[in-house]
Structure 1
Amino acid sequence: MEFRASFVINNKLGLHARPAAKLAKLACAYKAQVFLVRAGQMADAKSVLDILTLACPPGTNLEVVAKGPDAEEAIEAILKLVKEKFGEE
């Protein structure tokens, strides 16, 4: 089953290396395939380099898409991480 959710990057430095690493580590904890989508460009959320290719400054709108047995849980965890501003503020 596939789940989707939209969110806005809300931390003051955007999705730079440190939050990208946190997001990738979190995504890797799930069996589901997890992707981030920005303006039609898709990135594997389990890859820091893929995430960084999206170049997401503060205020960027993203969509997270997850497919697999624990997809819904993966999305909920990612949304929580984003809401907490990646623990940076």
Structure 2
Amino acid sequence: MVCETEVEIKNADGLHMRPAMQFVDLASQFECEVKVSNPQLTVDGKSIMQMTMLAATQGTKLRITAKGRDAEQAVAALSDLLEQKLVEKPTSE
């Protein structure tokens, strides 16, 4: 089964290392292939190095695609993580 959705990065600091790691940790719990793409690049959603290559800032639209046994659950959980749970206040400098 293949399932996909588009999400917008809401985190004021974008998809930096900490939220990217949370995404990878969650994606790794599912028995399916997870790909994340922006208009220029598609990466493995279970690889921290590849996820950081997306350089996704606040407002970036990403497509999450999962293929495999629990693809639907993976896409639902990962999109919820990006749209709801990773919303942080901007860091103060």
Length-normalised TM-score, structure 2: 0.90
In structure 1, what is the Cα distance between the partners aligned to 2:47 and 2:24? 6
Number of corresponding residues: 89
Q: For 1:33-63, what per-residue CA distance to the aligned partner results, in whole angstroms no more than 9, with x for missing partners?
A: 0010111411100011100001101100100
Q: For the structure 1 residues 87 and 11, does the alpha-carbon distance in structure 2 shift closer, same or farther, using more than 3 Å as the test? A: closer
User: Deviations for 1:59-89, whole angstroms, at most 9, x for unmatched residues?
Assistant: 0010000000000000000111112242634
Q: Please give the secondary structure, in 2, of the residue aligned with 1:33.
A: strand
Listed one character per residue, the Cα deviations across residues 14-51 of structure 1 (whole Å, up to 9, x for unaligned) are 00000000000000000100010111411100011100
Q: Which runs of 5+ in 1 are unaligned?
A: none
Q: How many angstroms apart in 1 are the aligned matches of 2:87 and 2:9?
A: 13
> Which structure: larger Rg?
2
Q: How far apart, in 2, do the equivalents of 1:21 and 1:88 lie?
A: 15
User: Partner residue of 2:25?
Assistant: 25
Q: Which runs of 4+ in 1 moved over 3 A?
A: none
Structure 2: 5+ residue runs without aligned partners? none
Tell me the amino acid that sits aligned with residue 55 of structure 2.
A
Task: Indicate yes or no: 2:74 matched with 1:74.
Answer: yes
**Is this contact kept in 2: 1:10–1:85, CA < 8 A?**
no
Give the 3-state SS of the residue equivalent to 1:34 in structure 2. strand
**TM-score when normalising by structure 1:** 0.94
Does 2:46 align with 1:12? no
CA distance in structure 2 between the partners assigned to 1:82 and 1:20 by the alignment: 9
Secondary structure of the 1:67 match is: strand
